[in-house]
Chains A and B, each alone.
Chain A
């Protein structure tokens, strides 16, 4: 049944194109319009600064830190002000290790809870596989880590990234994703907290996804 629909549609496309004339082919070389990728080396301090600035322009919070001790300190500061501390973390062991360096009192801790359980958590913590400095974007790749739900459902999302994972442009990151041996089933770009302006164009933060997005950026690694 479906096969005949497939043949009909492809047949209709072919016959209509055959009845037509080609488009006025414009000679363009692909990529000619894209920004020249600056090949000058960029210091990790300035790329971290650029990422943080872009992130804050879209209402996210960036914290530049140096090493594990300061990451733990940042986690403590962010979480200790919350009234509830049910925490869901991704299955990257790094996250659990860093959380264990804090002396936080945690009501409940769960690693990558499933779609039924995830709703009761207050905070989600994950890492990210890459980031884009020019837009303040986190890149979450499902092959490396189970963080699809912890980065989405809890009202607060904390991501921990290293300076070496930050790329300058969107184009560089697209090349990276496509260059992988096999494109991941789910890659997610996150640029700031969830937002909407559907009521009278008034900005409201945290409509369906997290209301708060914190990114802890480790400048030394």
Chain B
């Protein structure tokens, strides 16, 4: 398996940079998504107002998260949904394994859910003896290849059609082809059998509406509709931050999410699911279970800077805009959440020591903040996290150097002397080795500005 760790971002990134194919694929994908997003945003005259309103709605929810969660739970339960609370990933997985065992599930179909990627649910279900099938085409491909997703909305972005053809040939016995339509229809046919046999369906949630108890899931392929319509049991997994107060708020978020993600005005399907069916003869599952996951999220509420991480709607726009992601791709981050937003969410979810390199995986250029549909100030968050990391990892020599620098800067005579010394010393001593590995250090001028000024 190709599971990289967040702890080794620098090494992962170096390996990714050497992969010419990966960089080509990333360039195509990120520029295409970026252009489409730009055009889609420009098609609405009030894009900026929508972003402002979306953020205000999220700020309001997060500041009263306990109240809105209770309202959501009350309304969903009163319409027949069963609610499960999970403090962490292990608890979520054990609840879901328990539900699957209860309904004697053998085959489980799953639609794309970043939250279940976060908890590594598939591993837990397989360990419990169940067959789990990812049904989103991209997720299906990477499940066959035993790889993690590399982009929030295009999980198999790093694979060529040739690699996918070889994979389908080895795993499904399909003759080799470079025809994308045929690869797609083979996946359709194979997965139809799984849908027909499925005992339970597991999905994510994009939005949960407090005032009605509705969950909303958006997609293009139709696999989410199949997952939530065919099997007798539907289990929806959501982070506790997914709540929106009012049904009408969807008018804002359904305009922002598809435009930011893929540049569409609307994705092909939106499913609005409110409780279970009312009449026995109606279509749809018998049972609806909603799992609410904390897993470190409530901790982020404690500071206004970190709290905004919970406003993220997982559109992926910041990945496409980020000059670092554009070069290294998703796997290097070693987390299910890559890119700028991953660099802020991962250390907060996994613990800062396990992802201490990620907040530095940015030039702080601010492109992510420009495109974020909910105006998350990602550069500020990165700096905030760096502030938490540096006391932990700052080297003694580095701290000493800054102390000396401070002393020198406060005394003009020392400053003058140090620049003379510096000019002399740089002939013999290599300075800032790490920094000069990839670029040249400009030599210090033979005369300082001070000296030039007094010469005049």
Contacts and interface: CB of A to CB of B under 8 A. Distances in A.
Contact of A190 (B53, B59, B164, B268): B268
A33 interface: yes
Contacts of B269: 188-191, 194, 209
B84 interface: yes
Nearest to B198: A115
Interface in A45-65: 58
A149 B229 contact: yes
A188 B188 contact: no
B270 A189 contact: yes
A126 to B, nearest CB: 12
B267 interface: yes
Interface in A6-21: 6, 8-10, 12-14, 16-17, 19-21
Contacts of B87: 5, 8-9
A207 B139 CA distance: 13
A201 B161 CA distance: 10
Contacts of B141: 198-199
Interface string B116-157: 000000000000000000011110010000000000001111
Contacts, number: 246
Contacts of B156: 198-199
Given A196-B184, A200-B180, A207 B222 contact: yes
Interface in B50-105: 50, 52-53, 55-57, 59, 62-63, 65-66, 69-70, 79, 84-87, 91, 95
A20 B307 contact: yes
Interface residues of B, number: 99
Interface stretch (A66-74, A79-87, A93-101, A178-186): A178-186
Contacts of B53: 28, 30, 32-33
Given A2-B84, A185-B278, A200-B161, A142 B284 contact: yes
A186 B214 CA distance: 9
Interface stretch (B293-301, B418-426, B441-449): B293-301
Contacts of B230: 115, 149
B176 to A, nearest CB: 14
Nearest to A204: B184
Interface in A113-153: 114-116, 119, 134-135, 137, 142-143, 146, 148-149, 152-153
Nearest to B222: A209
A174 interface: yes
B22 interface: no
Contact of A119 (B52, B65, B192, B270): B192
A41 interface: no
Contacts of B274: 183-187
Range for the number of chain A residues in contact with chain B: 35 or more
A17 B91 contact: no
Contacts of A10: 66, 69-70
Interface in B166-196: 180-181, 183-185, 187-188, 191-192, 196
B268 A20 contact: no
Best-buried of A115, A116, A184 by chain B (most CB within 10 Å):
A115
Interface string A188-219: 11111111111111101011111000000000
A76 B283 CA distance: 28
Nearest to B273: A186
Contacts of B69: 10, 13
A12 B138 contact: no
Nearest to B293: A9
A42 interface: no
Contact of A33 (B46, B155, B220, B248): B46
Contacts of A206: 184-185, 188
Contact of A183 (B56, B181, B212, B284): B212
A34 B252 contact: yes
B299 to A, nearest CB: 6
A143 B274 CA distance: 12
A188 B270 contact: yes
A208 B294 CA distance: 32
B59 A23 contact: yes
Contacts of B386: none
Given A20-B302, A21-B304, A142-B283, A174 B247 contact: yes
Contacts of A171: 248, 251
B276 interface: yes
A177 B209 CA distance: 13
A208 B226 contact: yes
B340 interface: no
Contacts of B294: 9, 12
Interface string B401-434: 0000000000000000000000000000000000
Contacts of B273: 185-186
A9 B284 contact: no
Contact of A200 (B66, B84, B160): B160
B221 interface: yes
Nearest to A175: B248
B248 A174 contact: yes
26 contacts: A6-B85, A17-B302, A23-B59, A23-B62, A26-B52, A26-B56, A26-B59, A32-B49, A32-B53, A119-B196, A148-B284, A149-B229, A170-B254, A183-B274, A186-B274, A187-B274, A192-B268, A196-B137, A196-B220, A197-B262, A199-B164, A200-B160, A204-B181, A206-B188, A207-B221, A209-B225
Q: Nearest 3 pairs between A and B by C-beta?
A: A209-B222, A33-B49, A198-B138
